[in-house]
Amino acid sequence: MSSDSRPVVVIFGAGPNIGFAVAKKFSSAGYRVATVSRTKPGGDQPGVDFHAEAELSDPHTVSAVFDRIHRQFNASPKVIVWTAAHLSPSPDKNNIFSVPIEDVEKDLAIAVTGPFAAANEAVKSWKEGEKGVFIYTGNIMAKAVFPHPDFTTLGTAKRAASYMVEAADMQYKAKGWRFHYADERTPEGRPMGHAPGAESHADMYLHLAEGNEDLPAYITFAEGKYKRF
């Protein structure tokens, strides 16, 4: 148990791209950093103080993760970052609904129900008037439709998550708690595709966590800075 008073950030779905960059950025800014993923990452994790293994396709594990983090740090996270997602391609390219139901359920559990559970834990632990920030790693699919058979579950999840996040921000902003859906774009406003910027996310997320600017719940950003498209 720690008596350290530095704020805690937890990153769900932390991997070698966005997750590790966010962890390093927050650690350098004075945060205690917890990461969560299905397996323990290999090699060093710069800036990570605690790692919890959890199967995020089972949203019931989320509450236990928060308990473990509280025991580790003697504090609840002030910042929650959800980066976990999963895409199940359609086996029949002429039928976007050919994804097996169990795969649909898994993808939505990871990208919708899991962050729903994490947001619930956050709201239960935050105190009115004290800062709390929830950041969901999204993409342009919350605003744009790509009728490709392989994107159906991912796009469905992003749309649902966007509604959840924006509704939460409307509900809790007055208490000092912010919820953001983060949609990275190219400087021209196009989708990032398969190459999201790790450092760009890290810079934007720390800026959101510091809360020095009244930004919208749905954040579009490019090269680490808020940009309205």
Q: Is residue 3 situated within a structural domain?
A: no
| Three-class DSSP labels, the chain | CCCCCCCEEEEECCCCCHHHHHHHHHHHCCCEEEEEECCCCCCCCCCCCEEEECCCCCCCHHHHHHHHHHHHHCCCCCEEEECCCCCCCCCCCCCCCCCCHHHHHHHHHHHHHHHHHHHHHHHHHCCCCCCEEEEEECCHHHCCCCCCCCCHHHHHHHHHHHHHHHHHHHHHHHHCEEEEEEEEECCCCCECCCCCCHHHHHHHHHHHHHCCCCCCCEEEEECCEECCC
Residue 167 in domain: yes
Q: Within a domain: residue 114?
A: yes
| Catalytic residue list | 158
Within-domain flag for 14: yes
- Indicate whether this model's pTM tops 0.85: yes
Does residue 146 fall inside a structural domain?
Answer: yes
Q: How far apart are CA 94 and CA 116, in angstroms?
A: 32
Question: Residue 197 CB: number of other CB atoms within 10 A?
Answer: 19
% of the chain surpassing 90 pLDDT: 86
CATH code, 21: 3.40.50.720
Q: What's the one-letter identity of residue 194?
A: H
Could you list the residue range(s) of the whole structural domain that residue 195 is in?
8-226
* Residue 102 CB contacts under 8 Å (≥ 6 apart), including other chains: none
Residue 196 located in a structural domain: yes
Residue 43 is predicted with a pLDDT of: 65
Q: Write the pLDDT tens digit of every residue in 190-225.
A: 998 777 899 999 999 999 999 888 999 999 999 999
Would 87 be classed as within a structural domain? Answer: yes
Read off the pLDDT band of 6 (50, 70, 90). Answer: very high
Q: How many domains does the chain have?
A: 1
Residue 2 is assigned to a structural domain of this protein: no
Model confidence band, residue 2 (pLDDT cutoffs 50, 70, 90): low
For residue range 122-181, list pLDDT tens digits in order: 999 999 989 999 999 999 999 999 888 899 999 999 999 999 999 999 999 999 999 999
The span from the CA of 92 to the CA of 96, in Å, is 7
Q: How far is Cα 148 from Cα 140, in angstroms, rounded to an integer?
A: 14
Establish how many alpha carbons lie within 13 A of residue 126's alpha carbon, considering only the half-sphere containing its beta carbon: 26
Residue type, 108: L
Residues with Cβ within 8 Å of residue 188, at least 6 apart in sequence: none
Assigned token pair, 114? 């899991």
